[in-house]
């Protein structure tokens, strides 16, 4: 087995690989954390101070995070059974089942983020956190048996040098068919574009604009859903701030276009209020219900 830094920096292709990595990080964290700063809304900022080198770990929502490896292992086993039931058509799940989905996947992703904060420099950590998040969502969708593919649409446009191609990248296309039918120059009507972002900060507008662009490009309506990890960041050594620009989200929704779904593993508090609660949902809603409605 390689070092923890190598493991965190290596692509993952199955939920089992993510589970193994999560347990490894959960076992490592207590050995290197020297201080836990409890801030508001149930968030904690872990601090590592070793040989005079102080590192701050990204804020972790203790209401969603399992810090005990045994508790996580038990939850992961339950998650596998739940996803198998969803795959086989079961839609009758409790509030506790929804919480299980969100907590287990949140724990996996945030353990990876915490591990990277502790073993890599911030720039490298940021890149790998995004890559692992995309892989985690894709492997979850694979577990549901939904056909999917990452596609970059090549959109032609005129320039002073003649026709050029604009690369419109999608994080994932999901399909109701056995195989994805979309190609680099055609988006199949019944397929759905998914955009994965660890945060909406500075990225929300691009999802709306990409939907409008792809509808012009394809000549028909396009379903686009955005999936985010969270919208919270550390503010100094002992506080947090929320980064969802909720007013701008509603302006985009009213005056540009409406996304077909917006989901968070750790939704900001105001998403549970009007009018946002009609537009933004926990990720479990996508896994258990909405993915099938989007593909219907």
Q: Same structural domain for residues 119 and 252?
A: no
Confidence class for position 52, pLDDT limits 50, 70, 90:
confident
Domain enclosing residue 59, as ranges: 4-143
Q: Same structural domain for residues 14 and 135?
A: yes
For the chain, how many structural domains are there in total? 2
Q: Same structural domain for residues 70 and 151?
A: no
Q: Same structural domain for residues 152 and 130?
A: no
Chosen domain end from 90, 112, 143: 143
Asked if residue 169 has pLDDT above 90, the reply is no
Confidence class for position 51, pLDDT limits 50, 70, 90:
confident
Q: Same structural domain for residues 20 and 115?
A: yes
Give 194-214 pLDDT, tens digit per residue. 999 999 988 889 999 999 999
Q: Same structural domain for residues 151 and 284?
A: yes
Side-chain half-sphere exposure of 205, counting CA atoms within 13 A: 6
CB 211 within 8 A of CB 226: no
pTM, entire model: 0.96
Give 102-140 pLDDT, tens digit per residue. 999 999 999 999 999 999 988 888 899 999 999 999 999
Give 10-25 pLDDT, tens digit per residue. 999 999 999 999 999 9
Three-state SS sequence of the chain: CCCHHHHHCCCCCCHHHHHHHHHHHHHHHHHHCCEEEECHHHEEEEEEEECCEEEECCCEECCCCCCCHHHHHHHHHHHHHHHHHHHCCCCCCCHHHHHHHHHHHHHHHHHHHHHHHHHCCHHHHHHHHHHHHHHHHHHHHHHCCCEEECCEEEEEEEECCEEEEEEEECCEEEECCCCCCCECCECCCCCEEEEEECCCCCCHHHHHHHHHHHHHHHCCCCEEEEEEEECEEECCCCCEEECCCHHHHHHHHHHCCCCCEEEEEECCHHHHCCCHHHCEEEHHHHHHHHHHHHHC
Chosen domain end from 94, 111, 143: 143
Q: Same structural domain for residues 117 and 151?
A: no
Q: Same structural domain for residues 136 and 10?
A: yes
Give 28-43 pLDDT, tens digit per residue. 999 999 999 999 999 9
Mean pLDDT confidence for 248-270: 96
């Amino acid at each position: 087995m390689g070092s923890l830094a190598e493991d965190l920096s290596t692509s993952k292709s199955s939920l089992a690989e993510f589970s193994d990595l999560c347990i490894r990080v959960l076992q490592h964290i207590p050995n290197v954390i020297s201080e836990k700063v409890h801030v508001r809304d149930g968030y904690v900022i872990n601090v590592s101070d070793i040989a005079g080198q102080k590192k701050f770990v990204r804020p972790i929502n203790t209401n969603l995070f399992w810090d005990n490896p045994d508790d996580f292992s038990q939850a992961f086993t339950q998650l596998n059974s739940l996803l198998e039931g969803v795959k086989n058509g079961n839609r009758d799940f409790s509030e506790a089942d929804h919480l299980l989905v969100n907590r287990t996947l949140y724990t996996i992703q945030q353990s990876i983020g915490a591990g990277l904060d502790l073993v890599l420099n911030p720039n490298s950590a940021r890149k790998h956190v995004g890559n692992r998040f995309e892989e985690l969502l894709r492997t979850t969708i694979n577990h549901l048996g939904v056909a999917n593919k990452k596609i970059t649409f090549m959109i032609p446009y005129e320039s002073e040098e003649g026709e050029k191609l604009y690369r419109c990248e999608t994080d994932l296309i999901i399909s109701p068919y056995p195989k994805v039918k979309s190609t680099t120059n055609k988006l199949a009507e019944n397929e759905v574009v998914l955009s994965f972002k660890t945060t909406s900060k500075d990225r929300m507008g691009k999802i709306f604009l990409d939907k409008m662009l792809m509808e012009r490009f394809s000549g028909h309506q396009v379903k686009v859903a955005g999936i985010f990890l969270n919208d919270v960041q550390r503010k100094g050594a002992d506080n947090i701030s929320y980064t969802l620009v909720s007013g701008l989200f509603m302006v985009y929704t009213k005056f540009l276009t409406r996304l077909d779904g917006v989901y968070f593993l750790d939704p900001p508090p105001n998403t549970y209020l009007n009018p946002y609660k009609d537009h933004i949902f926990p990720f479990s809603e996508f896994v258990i219900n909405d993915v099938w409605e989007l593909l219907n």
